[in-house]
Structure 1
Amino acid sequence: MIQEFKDFIAKGNVMDMAVGIIIGAAFTAIVKSLVGDIFNPIIALFTGGIDFSGWFYALDGGDYASLAAAQEAGAPVFAIGSFLMAVINFFIIAFVVFMLVKTVNRIKSAAEKPDEVAPEVKTGPSELDILIEIRDALKK
C-alpha cells in the first residue's frame, strides 16, 4: 500500500495539480488585491462610494438598523445588497482575469513568434540554372 501511494504521488499529473493549486492560491491573492485595492476605489470614485451591502429585507417584519443587527437578532433576512455586491465583484474579477489572460497570451505569442528571416539574396545563377545552360549548349 505504501508503494502504491509512492507511485501515485510520483505521477506527473499529481505534482502538476499541486503546483497549479499553489500558483492558483497566489494568483487569487494578486487578483483580490488588484480588484480590492485598485479597481474598487476607482469605481467608488465614479459611483460616489455607493455600498449596496446594507440593503436587506427582514422577513420577520422587524425594523433593524443594519444587516448586522438583524443577523445578530437572529432574524431571517434577504441580504439583497450583499448578493448584489458579490455579483458586481464577480464581474470585476472576471474582467480583470480576462485582461490578465489576454495580456499573458499576447506576450506568449510574441515570444513564440520566430524572428523574421531576411529573404535570401541570389548572388548569381543557381546550380540548376548552370546545369540547364550546359545541357542546352550540348544540344546545340
Structure 2
Amino acid sequence: MLKGFKEFVLRGNALDLAIAVIIGTAFNKVVSSLVQDVLMPFISITAGRIPDFSSWKLGIISIGNFLNATINFLVIATTIYFFVVTPLNTLKRRENKSKQEASPAPPEPSEEIKLLREIADLLRTSKAK
C-alpha cells in the first residue's frame, strides 16, 4: 500500500502539480501587490478614485461585491497577460527563430538511398497496374 502511494507521489504529474500550486501561491502575492500597489493607485489618479461597488444591491442580493470581484479579476488577468504572457511569448518566438536559423539543412541522401527509393517507386507503380 505504501509502495503504491510512493509511486503516485513521485510520479511526474503529482510532483509537477504540487510545484505549480506552490509557485502559483507565491506568484499570486506578486501579482496582487502589482495590482493593489501599482495599478490601482494609477487608476485612482486617472479616474479620481478607486471604484467601489460594494454598496450596490439588487433587492436582497449584494451585486456590488460580485462587481468588485469581477473588476479585480479583469485587472489581474490583464496584468498577467501584458506583464507575463506577452513577454514570454516574445522570448519564445525569438528563441524558436534563432533555433531555426542555427539548425543546418538535412544532408543530401546518398546515391544508394536515392537508388533504393527509385526502385521502391517502380515496384509500387508496377503493383498498382
TM-score range, shorter chain: 0.5 to 0.7
Q: 5 Å matches for 1:1-140? A: 1-57=1-57, 59=59, 77-99=60-82, 100-114=84-98, 116=101
Q: TM-score, normalised by structure 2?
A: 0.66
Unaligned runs of 5+ in 2: 103-129
Verify the 8 A CA contact 2:54 2:65 in the aligned structure 1: yes
| 8-17 vs 80-89, greater mean Cα deviation | 80-89
TM-score by length of 1: 0.62
Deviation at 1:14, TM superposition (A): 1.0
1:88-135: per-residue Cα shift (whole Å, max 9, x none)? 111111111111211111123223432756xxxxxxxxxxxxxxxxxx
Identity rate, percent: 37
* Ranges in structure 1 where 5+ consecutive residues have no aligned partner: 60-76, 118-140
Cα shift readout 1:15-74 (whole Å, capped 9, x = no counterpart): 111111111111111111111111111111111114323423385xxxxxxxxxxxxxxx
RMSD value, Cα: 2.1
Higher helix share: 2
State how far apart, in whole Å, the 2-side matches of 1:40 and 1:97 are.
Answer: 15
Paired residues in the alignment total: 100
Higher relative contact order (CA 8 A, sep 6+): 1
Any conservation in 2 of the 1:53–1:79 contact (CA below 8 Å)? no
